[in-house]
Amino acid sequence: MKAEVVVYNIASALAADAGGADRIELCDNPGEGGTTPSAGVVEVVRQHVNLDVFAMLRPRGGDFCYSSYEFHSMKRDLSQFQKLSIDGIVFGILLPDGTIDKKRCAELIQKAKPLKITCHRAFDMTRDPFQALEDCIEVGFDRILTSGQQPQAIAGVDLIRELIVRAAGRISIMPGSGVNENTVGDIISKTGAQEIHFSAMASEPSKMVYKNPAIAGMGSDEGSEYLLRTVDPSRVKNIKALAVEAIQNKVP
């Protein structure tokens, strides 16, 4: 069982490492579902953790249909990350009709070799998941992160299980979204997945003594300068242990 923890800052990466994660997906902007982290953050994380580091390549939030300028920025970010000895990248590109953009995905994958490549939850926005599965295999992705095209993986277990069956070992299918202590056992036992993706999120108060009471989240209701997102190492350890237990107890 491989446990991948999504992290959005340096402190979270260190905490995931301390909790025994096998891999991190390093992103920025949790409110957007994850975007490309800075090269500086990637470099510091790579230097200070002992687990695999996969960096997100997503130039903005919103959909996964990118302009030529955005695609060029993804290639430039990839070039920078390759210099920093990361282990893999995470991305997904779609065409307007809801299919995998095989041409652009194949170009990025070819450029990224020999890094490992994950297709992120852009997969969940495709119109035909089984065709998208074959397209991901064809262009060379190593794994697909998916919630089974549902808001959370626990609701998508039937599709996730069918994807694993149809993949037949040609690509790894990794459930993610809403994976926690209460759901991981059912997700693993009902799908047979060998990898799992989760956040083990925790929050800690800011170290700021002075706080401006007139402003929170720099004008946005979605955040606060005085509450910092991190990862709870004990949750990482517990969720991974529950996933392992579910595999061991799964009836063939």
User: What integer best gives the mean pLDDT of the chain?
Assistant: 95
Q: How many CA atoms lie within 13 A of 106 on its CB side?
A: 8
Residue 215 is assigned to a structural domain of this protein? no
CA angle 93/173/76 to nearest 5° reads 30
pLDDT exceeds 60 at position 251: no
- The pTM (predicted TM-score) of the whole model is 0.94
Residue 206 is assigned to a structural domain of this protein? no
Amino acid 163: pLDDT = 98
Mean pLDDT, residues 228-251 taken together: 93
Q: Which range of residues forms the domain containing residue 170?
A: 2-201+231-249
Mean pLDDT, residues 142-162 taken together: 98
Q: Which among 132, 115, 128, 137 is positioned nearest to 56, based on CA atoms?
A: 115
Mean pLDDT, residues 62-78 taken together: 98
Assign residue 81 the CATH number of its domain: 3.20.20.380
pLDDT exceeds 80 at position 236: yes
Amino acid 249: pLDDT = 85
Distances in whole angstroms, Cα of residue 2 to Cα of each of 5, 14, 24, 27, 215: 10, 18, 11, 19, 41
pLDDT exceeds 90 at position 61: yes
Q: What percent of the chain has pLDDT over 70?
A: 96
On whether the CB atoms of residues 130 and 99 are closer than 8 A, the answer is no
Residue 107 is assigned to a structural domain of this protein? yes
CA angle 41/204/27 to nearest 5° reads 30
Residue 198 per-residue DSSP state: E
For the chain, the domain total comes to 1
Q: How confident is the model at residue 226 (pLDDT cuts 50, 70, 90)?
A: confident
Residue 209 is assigned to a structural domain of this protein? no
Residue 139 is assigned to a structural domain of this protein? yes
Q: How confident is the model at residue 219 (pLDDT cuts 50, 70, 90)?
A: low
Amino acid 214: pLDDT = 77
pLDDT exceeds 70 at position 162: yes
pLDDT exceeds 60 at position 228: yes
Amino acid 221: pLDDT = 55
Amino acid 212: pLDDT = 82
Residue 96 is assigned to a structural domain of this protein? yes
d(CA 5, CA 16): 7
Distances in whole angstroms, Cα of residue 8 to Cα of each of 11, 30, 34, 99, 139: 9, 7, 8, 28, 28
Mean pLDDT, residues 1-12 taken together: 97
Residue 213 is assigned to a structural domain of this protein? no
Residue 155 is assigned to a structural domain of this protein? yes
